[in-house]
Chain A
């Protein structure tokens, strides 16, 4: 169990993560939403750090904050979407949604509060990551990622492949009449193909 300073930081990160996640969906300005999302990612990275998973924390920042969220930001800024209008229909049902959410939340709190987690869970958590002094985080991940979890790893790879194919299929359009750069053609050019020498007689144009 956590205690002391560690506990204080855990609750800080956790609280800010939940609060900013709530702001993501409630912010009126979409740009603000994305910014809150980035804040959430940061806090999640902080939580990773607390458990000693430094590699994951950094990856989260690099990939999600550095790439995904920023991409989101660009997209949101470039698209002129009136989110308020889109939300107006949904807001009509906000009371019911809130009610359902409240009921669910209340039930979950009652249940999880009154029951014990599995005792063996403590032992499972007890060996999260090897000591950084003996084995680096990255190496430790690699140790199991390509052995015990090779199956999952490959399937995850397939999923990413599908995502890639999907993105291309749904968005890539071949436009007619676009002049593309052909590097091989450029490299393969020789003076013979690139130039034509003509003798120009005086007094006449070409």
Chain B
């Protein structure tokens, strides 16, 4: 017992660091009052970085707590992405918090606890771990969505997210119970072992549908996406940035893990489901975004579309496919963080603005911001040689190799339609009459935006090594 517990604890040390850190920060926050926000945020970022560094330097691989928790290269890869997402969004929230009276020390604490939940999701090797991690994550997200409690939009966003999230949790649980009923196990490995020996049972497939529906809600894939635009628009912008980055990484990792381990023997079934939600997400994400006027809402549809593209790689059910998903999520993360750094910097004297029309003529009023956002938009649209192109390239390549031609063709067409609204932003920035510039960017936002732009622009030069790391991560399942 003791040696097992010891090795288990050492495998889960990053999670423990963050959970313990969250408790400490909570105490610090409670006892030093309202002014502690920036201190707590700084410490939270330090904790996240520390946990990530520990994981990269000393993190081992293996299974823990009686096979319910797993640490492998794929988990490490996705956790690093997720930690980057959490840390960067926390950093970006500092300026906003000061300006918008949003300086609650609970925010970083909740982000940390949510991060723990997400790490558990990524490392889940059992349905119960999956569910607990998901709930820990979601519950914190419901709260942060509504954290600006004096704003009607924010509370409405939180409430909507909560109710729909509860519905999806119900579905997930129902699916888990069906799967348990048909296999007698909750562990992923045991489920896979049972399934590979048995005939395909329709009841189990139903369970699969419900489980995937529950996870698809978290990655906001169509038709479980409906909450996304409202919540993205209503939540405070740093929260939206967080929603669009870290939880997407975790939920996508979870999606990959349950399909690649637990349900691997019935790949033919889940592939159909993934193809369906992938196509639906790509198409809806592309079409619905066209009509948007609010840039946060636009980013919501953009994220729906991008999730659809990433799922293309998963649908292939191959090593290249999983590698494609990993690379896609990495590039998506960087582009999203950069774009939200920009959105956070859309400040005038009388506060933050969110309308796309506010960007008009930015190229004359603030050329540097406009240039970087243009690069990001081109990348999001998938214009070579920017990173966004390579992301799409890898997933479509996997789909073609797996003979999923229809999926790849629909994906390419959807990306053409999707390019329209990214290009429209560029057009508004460069060719419309200026409506007045923004206040100077805060240093941390400048840093994030610049780094993101540089990554996207120069990805073509270091894409090879990144691809090899992603490949090592993908090898976990093959």
Contacts and interface: CB of A to CB of B under 8 A. Distances in A.
Contacts of A124: 184
B194 interface: yes
Q: How large is the interface on A (under 10, 10 to 19, 20 to 34, 35 or more residues)?
A: 20 to 34
A178 interface: no
A159 B104 contact: no
A165 B110 contact: yes
B422 to A, nearest CB: 35
A108 B113 CA distance: 37
Interface string B108-131: 011001101100100000001100
A148 B113 CA distance: 23
Contacts of B201: 115
B143 A118 contact: no
The interface residues of chain A, by DSSP majority, are classed as: helix
A111 B204 CA distance: 9
Most chain B CB atoms below 10 A, which of A114, A158, A163, A169? A158
Q: How large is the interface on B (under 10, 10 to 19, 20 to 34, 35 or more residues)?
A: 35 or more
Interface stretch (B75-83, B134-142, B275-283, B366-374): B134-142
A152 B132 contact: yes
B139 A162 contact: yes
Contacts of B149: 169-171
A152 B126 CA distance: 11
Nearest to B147: A169
A111 B142 CA distance: 35
Given A108-B206, A152-B68, 9 more contacts: A118-B183, A151-B64, A152-B128, A159-B132, A162-B110, A162-B113, A162-B140, A165-B143, A171-B149
Interface of B: 1, 8, 12, 19, 23, 26, 64-66, 68-69, 104, 106, 109-110, 113-114, 116-117, 120, 128-129, 132-133, 135-136, 139-140, 142-143, 146-147, 149, 158, 181-184, 194, 198, 201-203, 206
22 contacts: A111-B202, A111-B203, A115-B201, A115-B203, A117-B181, A118-B198, A121-B181, A147-B1, A151-B8, A151-B129, A152-B132, A155-B120, A155-B133, A155-B136, A159-B132, A161-B113, A162-B110, A162-B139, A162-B140, A165-B110, A170-B146, A171-B149
Query: Which 3 interchain pairs have the tightest Cβ spacing?
Result: A166-B143, A151-B65, A118-B184
